[in-house]
Chains A and B, each alone.
Chain A
Amino acid sequence: MTQNIKLYGAIISKSMRQFATYRTNIFAGIVSALFMLGARWALWVALFATGNAGDITLAETMTFFVVGDFVMVWMGTSFGDVIGEDNRSGDIALKITRPCSYHFQLLAERHSVAVIETLTKSVPIFIAAAVLIGILPPIGAGAFGLFVLAVLLGGAVYFLVDLIISYSVFWLTDYWYVRWYQRAILQLFGGTVLPLWFYPDWLRAIADVLPFRFVMFAPMEIYLGRLSGADVYATFVAALFWIFVLFCAERLIWRRVQYKLVVQGG
């Protein structure tokens, strides 16, 4: 366990040092983040100008995206690329035999990128938005605690879903497009691009049944206080249920993958 924590720390600090040498990337990251914020702001101002937003305010919507971005950078890319490359190059055999689990290595690598993205993307966006646009604070300390808890549960859901989709690379000849499937599904049912509030009823009904909304939408609703009391706990129970189901599915598929790797030699 301590070994794992040490390794986790080492991977993250290594990527931090590497990144500090690419200063143009930092510049590019910050510029594109601010551009994106500006585009989003202009778009939603124009939409709210129609006065057809119902009970949602512009501030809520912008807070949804700006704070939600802190969550999204930790999900961000798909494992499909990493696993696909490991499989193609044969590195996966090496990585599986290391003393810590392959999944832990995947997670640490992802987080090492996320730490950097948080600093170059989420933080500048947040500061700019807080100063220029105004961001709503969490509804209360308790709600913020529940928000963090919801983010952790959402992270687990995302991790499992991403793994399940990414395992498909073991049965495919090429893998670059796997992440596009993952992205498309998350965008459509997760409410990450357009909050589920604005969905037509039929699509909202489908999204509510599926687990993708736990990734970012549900935590943000708790943050904004649009979900409270018993509803929060109902959401947690549903998320836990999905984590259980997805975990079983993931283990099952991973067994097949290991069988494929060991017996058939990749």
Chain B
Amino acid sequence: MKIEKKDIEYIANLSRIELSNQEKETFIHQLSDILAYIDKLNQLNTQDIKPMAYSINTTNVLRDDKLEPPISREDALTNAPSTMGVFFKVPKVIE
């Protein structure tokens, strides 16, 4: 799979990462190499194989509906770069 500049720009946008032209060139080259290697998976016929997301079988993990003390609002806000009162503060969302 050959990656092109427009592909890199598309994925970078999905990833919310900005790249310089230099970085785009490097990533085009590196991601193309990696994807070419990954293409070896196509040597295998997996038509009748089930996909596997987890290695151990767990279904319906439930617990008793018991109250436990949560992390306090104050603690939850201590690491925020910007706050206002009891809120996380962010730049303008709607223009």
Q: Do A and B bind each other?
A: no
Seen from chain A, the residues whose Cβ lies within 8 Å of a Cβ on chain B are: none
User: Which B residues lie at the A interface, using CB under 8 A?
Assistant: none
